[in-house]
Amino acid sequence: MHDTKEQEKQLREAAIKAAVDYYNFKHKPEQPFAPGKRISYGGRVFDEREMANLIDSSLDFWLTTGRYAEKFEKEFAEFLGVQHASLVNSGSSANLLAFMALTSPKLGERRIRRGDEVITVAAGFPTTVAPIIQYGAIPVFVDVALPTYNVDVTLLEAARSEKTKAVMLAHTLGNPFDLGAVKVFCEKHGLWLIEDNCDALGSRYFHQGDWHYTGTLGDLGTSSFYPPHHMTMGEGGAVYTNDTTLKRLVESFRDWGRDCWCPSGRDNTCGNRFTQRFGELPYGYDHKYVYSHFGYNLKVTDMQAAIGCAQLEKLSGFVAARRANWQFLRDGLSGLADRFVLPEPTENSEPSWFGFLLTVRKEAGFSREEVVNHLERKGIQTRMLFAGNLIKHPCFDEMRQSGAGFRVVGELKETDRIMNDTFWIGVYPGMKPEMLEYMVATLKEFAAR
């Protein structure tokens, strides 16, 4: 037996070493940057540790959620300073589960029902809003404010009605929205708050005398681990909360809607697997096959979680690099404030930037299309601020024609401005100083022409 275990250990170590050698051969060599070479807006940053974890996990051949997922959930929650973190297969799934948890009958009168309203914005990514619509609740759109590109909190009271049950907002490109004002509003009216933190992992907000990571001040927070984000598992996401009831609801919806909370591969954690009655089922029906919700299977694989564990060790460094890169661009482009609206961090915040936003001013002498095309020709990748104005997209055509399904408060004037005049460039940790210098020089050259 001892010889068998020792042989297994040696073979595992050899497999991992081979993977590390492959990383050093294939992935580690870096090509020097030359002007005109493609500068991506984002990308994965990894080393041999991710490769070693991935191979180590694959050798177990457990494949579904397992020991690395448990390790990541524990360490991620500790990083954020929350009690619970639940891994899922994407940031979009994280938003879906955070919202669906609030529809559970177990929440009584506070549950969100079909026809209830949720305050949000249209200037963002669609999966912040999609769960609301897919469930049958009503999104209520308010405008945003520049130069933070976040919700205009002065419009919240006007947006509220007797049907309002929640606020669901994203921290735009890493810049926290005014959490102080939004929390006061939610607490005043007994509303749920979901923070879509997918673009802002590592951002902080000063509240009630202390710094807090964004995503932790609301009832629920969400993250995405897609490759361009602050850390990656390839695909993956997380929902986090300090509320144990909400944590169990999230995991029920994530795990097929089951009532049982036993970890994958374990039985009878509660000791009452065959001694309870549920609904109209016979007494003692196997608790592992009792369903309290209409759920999904949105778990992450253990191989993804293994990569995440290695990435989590680097997260603080990733955040610091993003902040430094953003500040380099902000300082370097300060002389173009007459041509562009330059981004500003929200008061009382310390952003972990996802990108560098620029809005072309009317008096700039050029259009967004012209500057974007110039940057792309020069090898600098650009992106729009996601949907721009979500309700102008084809997916809203039928809803608009029917006159039902969503509400708009006031004019979405700044949202439309973003749709027409705003774009962003990257600040991800893989950028070299000469890339940032080239980006600044290219924008200055274009503006000077």
CB of 328 closer than 8 Å to CB of 344: no
CB of 154 closer than 8 Å to CB of 414: no
Exposure on the CB side of residue 283, measured as CA atoms within 13 A? 1
The separation between CA 222 and the C-alpha centre of its own chain, rounded to angstroms, equals: 6
Q: 187: closest CA among 171, 204, 201, 207?
A: 207
The one-character DSSP state at 391 is G
The Cα 288–Cα 267 span in angstroms is 8
Specify which residues 120 forms β-bridges with. 141
The owner of tokens 């029902």 is: 113
The Cα 401–Cα 415 span in angstroms is 21
**Helix 302-332 × helix 48-60 angle, to 10°:** 160
CB of 205 closer than 8 Å to CB of 212: yes
Q: Which two tokens stand for residue 386?
A: 């996601």
Q: Which residues are catalytic?
A: 229
C-alpha dihedral (100, 105, 109, 114), degrees to nearest 10: 50
**Helix 91-101 × helix 244-254 angle, to 10°:** 120
**159 membership: H or E segment, kind and range:** helix 156-159
Q: Which two tokens stand for residue 394?
A: 């084809």
CA pseudo-torsion sign 418, 222, 226, 436:
positive
